[in-house]
Amino acid sequence: MESLVSTEWLEGELGAPDLRVIDASFFLSAEGRDARAEYEAGHIPGAVFMDIDEIADPSNPAPHMFRPEHKFASRMQSLGLGDGNRFVVYDNSPLHSAARGWFMLKSFGAHFVAILDGGLEKWKAEGRPLETGKPQVRHAHFTAALDDTVIADKAYVSGIVHSDGHEIVDARSAARFTGEEAEPRPGLEAGHIPGSKNLPQGKLFNPDNSWKQGDTLRRAFEEAGVDLSKPLVTTCGSGITACVLLFGAHLLGKEDMKLYDGSWSEWGADPATPKAVGPA
C-alpha cells in the first residue's frame, strides 16, 4: 500500500477485512469545533475516531506527548486496530492532523499506514458515501514497539541549535514564528527556536486539499530555505502540524528526520531555552 492513497482507491477497498479507516481530525479550542461530534455526524463508512487528546500522555505538562507503549497499544486495541491491518488515516481539519495519526502508528511499529489524499473534504466534494454514529468494533491486538530514534526531546534540540549539520523546521504560521502573533496557549513566550526555518504546513497542499507532490512539493521546502540533504527535525505548537512536514518529506523519500514532540509548548514555556523573534 502506498503512503498516500486516493479517494477512488479507498472507496474501492471499503469492506476489505484487513482494512481499518481512522478519522484523526483535531481542532484547536479557539476554532470552536468538536472533532468527535463532527465524526459522529458523518464519516467514511467503517471509520473509527482517533482522539488525539485522549491518546496523549496525561502525566506530561506539554500537550499531545507520546504515551508509553502499553498505553498506546491499549488505545489502539479498543478501537479495533490490530497487528496485520492496513490503516488509512484521514481528517477534516485545517491542521491536517491525519499526519499525526500516521506518524504515531508508524512510530509504534505499524507497517501499512497511509493518509487519504484530500481527506474528508475531498471525499465529500466527490459525493462519496458517509455514515453516522459510532461503528461497533471488535477488540484487536496491537503490538506497540516505539522507535524512539524518530523522536527528539528538548535536550537533543538544544544540542543542534544553530548547527550547520541539521535543519530545524517550524510548521506554525509565519506570524507565530516571527512572534508578531501571540501563542494560543497561555504561559508561552512568542517567537521560534533560534536557527530554525519556517514552513507553514498549509503550504504543502493544493487548493482542493490534496497533497503537493514531486517537484511542486520539493519547491515548498526549497522556498523555505530547507536543505533536505541534512537531517531534519520538525516542530510546531504541540507536535501536531510538525507531522505534516514529516509526511511531506517522507513523500520525497527522506528518512533521516525526527519530530520534536514537545515543540513550542515545551520550548516556549521554559525560561532557560533561547528564543528568537522576527524572520528566520
Phi, psi angle pair for 101, to nearest 5°: -60, -45
Is residue 236 among the annotated active site residues?
yes
CB 271 within 8 A of CB 188: no
Give the integer Cα–Cα distance in Å for 224 and 209. Answer: 20
The DSSP 8-state label assigned to residue 66 in this structure reads P
Cα 267 from Cα 157, distance rounded (Å): 10
Taking the C-alpha atoms of residue 226 and residue 111, their distance in angstroms, rounded to an integer, is 28
Active-site position among 65, 236, 257, 259: 236
Q: What is the DSSP letter of 151?
A: E
Question: For the packed helices 214-223 and 242-251, what is the interaxial angle rounded to 10 degrees?
Answer: 130
Q: Are the CB atoms for 35 and 25 separated by under 8 Å?
A: yes
What are the E-state strand segments in the chain?
4-5, 19-23, 48-49, 86-90, 112-116, 151-152, 167-170, 197-198, 232-235, 257-260
Hunting for cell 490534496 — which residue is that? 210
Instruction: Tell me if residue 122 falls in helix, strand or coil.
Output: helix
Active-site annotation, residues: 236
